[in-house]
Amino acid sequence: MSAKEKDKKEILQTPKGMRDILPEDYAYYSIIYDKIESIAEYYDFKPIQTPHLEKIELFTTAVGETTDIVEKEMYTLKTKGKDHLALRPEGTAPIMRSYIANGMQSRPQPVLLYYKGSFFRHENPQKGRLREFQQFGLEILGERKGVAEATIIKIFLTAIQELGGKDLIVHINSIGDKECRNAYKKELISYYRKKINHICRDCKNRIKTNPLRLLDCKEEKCQEIKKEAPKMIDYLCQHCREHFKDTLELLDAFEVPYIVDHTLVRGIDYYSRTVFEIFPAPTKEEETKNMEETKGVEILEEENKKIIIKKKESVSALAAGGRYDELGKILSKKEIPASGGAIGMERLISFLKERGVKPKAKKKPKIFFVQLGTSAKFKGFEVTERLRKAGIPISQSFAKEGLSDQLKIASKLNIPYAIILGQKEALEESLILRNMDNRSQDIVLINDIVEVIKKKIK
């Protein structure tokens, strides 16, 4: 292959980690967005759209300098006007920016918003991660109570279940607030310092840069150490403890299946108190195996009935989120209690496919529209519009020219009636209505066609 030919071939490839969404897959995006949007709208969430590009500082400040997202995964660029911009790697910081910048604090609180669209992270595509991916997010700004995060969890769960993804489990944890978390971090650091010779290289770094992420380590050698590590829940201050308890009580009332997962932390600085992830529930066999591996753990005094189910490390969450009371302060020095979460669209689509969920086919048309000759094609548009406005779905062939070819398609598709518009009919403002089963034909005026068809296909 010549160099030039090779260049041409490369032009046709999408950038690494990015891809075309073809009609078959697009149908999945549509059913998910339709479902979740209708539920969100019902509960009074309003749509919002922020730019795909934001100033870099928004993310370095809000998400945190030492997070993977900012350190390794952000797409950044310098514009001709010398602005430093980033393709948005996540949705929450832009929503909070917009809330503050547009004075939404003066609206009745809380403000309930939803958003959807593409996000960008420079991830390793070998792990099956896309560099352009889609999310659907819910955010509740201006609400201090746990009802906000419980509502978000409940809506996500309901949407996924109604789409056909039945067995789900919510992993939930509290990572406290600034005060109690600092005390916990100290304990965690001192625990890991004692084990420094037995932990992976990443964890050695995490001790200095982002100690909570120690609990996130997937390395084999760190798992036992992680299991014995101090638990945030034992260090929660009175307020954080009450908040967590209220949130869990609401989840009980909403009949949300959940487990308290002490190793759940989120990789972003702005989270405080509640963090959650939604997973496919483990199968019966996995559950028995896990019960044998882990003894029942007392979580809160009231929670001793709950059993920890270790999640499979390889399974990624369908949805995730949490409370981010600190973010408002980070961006504007104002107190803005808030919580939110997002569904990972690609992850959810593959989950629904695994469960055999198929997007519903459009209503099967009962009419095949055959058009013959140029003047018929012009008239044909008028006829089609009459049928469309009357809500009568039709099928037609744009490529085939001849009558018998088109009728063949109609019988192949098992469509019971055909309407035929030729030159002669076009001049006479009429159509031929053909019964595909017995091949009988009637001539019908274009003016009457909607009524005649409605009677036939009743």
Instruction: Give the binding site for Zn ion (CB under 5 A).
Output: 176-177, 180, 200, 203, 217, 219, 222, 237, 240
Measure the CA angle with vertex 76, ends 54 and 11; round to 5°: 115
For the bound state, the minimum distance from the C-beta of residue 244 to Zn ion, rounded and expressed in Å, comes to 10
> Least distance in Å: CB of 212 to Zn ion?
13
Q: What are phi and psi of 322, to 5 degrees?
A: 165, -170
Looking at the Cβ atoms of 113 and 233, the one nearer to Zn ion is: 233
Residue closer to Zn ion, measured from CB, 229 or 452:
229
State the nearest-atom distance from the C-beta of 276 to Zn ion, in Å.
Answer: 18
Instruction: Indicate the Cα dihedral angle 229, 233, 237, 238, nearest 10°.
Output: -160
CB of 224 to Zn ion, least distance (A): 11
Residues whose CB is less than 8 angstroms from the CB of residue 203 and which lie 6 or more positions away in sequence, other chains included: 192, 214, 217, 219, 222
Instruction: Name which of 19 and 195 has its Cβ closer to Zn ion.
Output: 195
Q: How far is the CB of 181 from Zn ion (least distance, A)?
A: 7
Amino acid (one-letter) located at 272? S
Q: Which is nearer to Zn ion, 195 or 456 (CB)?
A: 195
> Which CB, 176 or 344, lies closer to Zn ion?
176
**Of residues 180 and 265, the one with the C-beta less far from Zn ion:** 180
What is the closest distance, in whole angstroms, from the C-beta atom of residue 253 to Zn ion in the complex?
24
CA 402 from chain centre, in angstroms, equals 46
